[in-house]
Amino acid sequence: MKAIIQTNLEDPHSLELGETNKPQLQDGEVLVKVKAAGVNRADLLQARGHYPPPPGASEIIGLEVAGEVVDAGDTDVEVGSKVGALLAGGGYAEYVAVPQGQLLPIPTGYSFAEAASVIEVACTVWSNIAMEAGLTQGQTILIHGGAGGIGTFAIQVAKQLGATVAVTAGSDEKLETCKELGADILINYNEQDFAEELKNQCDVILDIMGAKYLKKNLIALAKGGHMVTIGMQGGTKAELNMGILLNKRLTLQGTTLRSRSLEGKATIVADTVKHVWPWLENGSVKHYLHATYALARAAEAHKALDSGEVTGKLVLEV
């Protein structure tokens, strides 16, 4: 089959369309013929050698696809079903093997490209803010990077849950985008100190900055608050004052979707489909596709995402 092969591990942009073997199905897996594959920031990290696939996963880049089931293996999935799939790897290819628990229905009205690009963000946002942090009606959530791919989706999901939403972003234009999606409290981190603005107010924080914001996040958290860190764009090592942790009864949690067990992923996929898919289908949560590229142009898509000028998701079409 055709797949994107990284020809030079020293060069993250050496992504070329090549030939490799079709994946062999393991117990409980189905073979999906890929129509579209979402491009994620984690893919850029993997091409740089910073985010290796978990043991047993495909070496091919790609964490989410949509397509058609062409071999049901030992499962009861119907051949010909149109599906989305959450992957540990292998998406940038003609075919990918998928554990049954990681298949999702295509949201009604969604194209393959739209479906392929909403899976990772929907599962990430829902698992972190709802399943892990337990965000509920009347609470306040702070979303860092509100105008990014995760942020724009998280704002909408948090509003559906009935929360007050605070966001940080680096420009008034980006904050305007957040506001249009429903954000209530807008903080330009170049002009304002979010810790001062939100001191002791945040029940939940969705963090992508790691070390750089740790101290300020502890100030912003309310008593009993819960921070979920899913990225470390601001570095990894920071001083932690455990006194504040105890006095405010705080929870700090780091998560990744990719390293979870099959069972863990299946639980997240099922809960995300149950709660988020209806919002996608009735339009109360909107998903933005920025552009599509042919699979062979994966390197170009990576460069575009790397440029920081992309405001929605990129998709490779097979």
Residues that bind a copy of itself (CB under 8 A): 210-211, 214, 223-224, 229-230, 232, 236-256, 259-260, 264
How far is Cα of residue 133 from the mean position of the Cα atoms in its chain? 16
Q: Tokens representing 272?
A: 């995300």
What is the β-pairing status of strands 185-188 and 289-294? Answer: unpaired
> At closest approach, how far in Å is the CB of 229 from a copy of itself?
6
CB of 226 vs a copy of itself, minimal distance in Å: 9
The type of residue at 103 is L
Nearer to a copy of itself (CB atom), residue 191 or residue 239? 239
Q: Least distance in Å: CB of 27 to a copy of itself? A: 22
Nearer to a copy of itself, 246 or 307 (CB): 246
Q: Which is nearer to a copy of itself, 247 or 311 (CB)?
A: 247
Distance CA 270, CA 274 (A): 6
Q: For a copy of itself, which is the closer residue by CB, 24 or 236?
A: 236
Question: Residue 109 or 224: which CB sits closer to a copy of itself?
Answer: 224
CA distance 207 to 143: 7
Closest distance of CB 196 from a copy of itself, Å: 22
Least distance to a copy of itself from the beta carbon of 129, Å?
15
State the Cα–Cα distance between residues 129 and 227, nearest whole angstrom. 9
Q: How many Cα atoms sit within 13 Å of 91 on the Cβ side?
A: 32
How far apart are the C-alpha atoms of 225 and 296, rounded to whole Å? 45
Query: Is the sign of the CA dihedral 130, 164, 225, 239 positive or negative?
Result: positive
CB of 119 to a copy of itself, least distance (A): 19
Shortest reach from residue 250's CB to a copy of itself, in Å: 6
Q: Are 79 and 72 in contact (CB under 8 A)?
A: yes
Judged by CB, which is closer to a copy of itself: 128, or 292?
128
Dist. CA 84–CA 131, nearest whole Å: 21
User: Minimum CB separation from a copy of itself for residue 219, in Å?
Assistant: 15
Residue 142 or 230: the one with the smaller Cβ distance to a copy of itself is: 230
Contacts for 180 with CB less than 8 Å, ≥ 6 apart = none
H/E element, 82:
strand 82-86
Residue 93's nearest CA partner among 295, 300, 292 is: 295
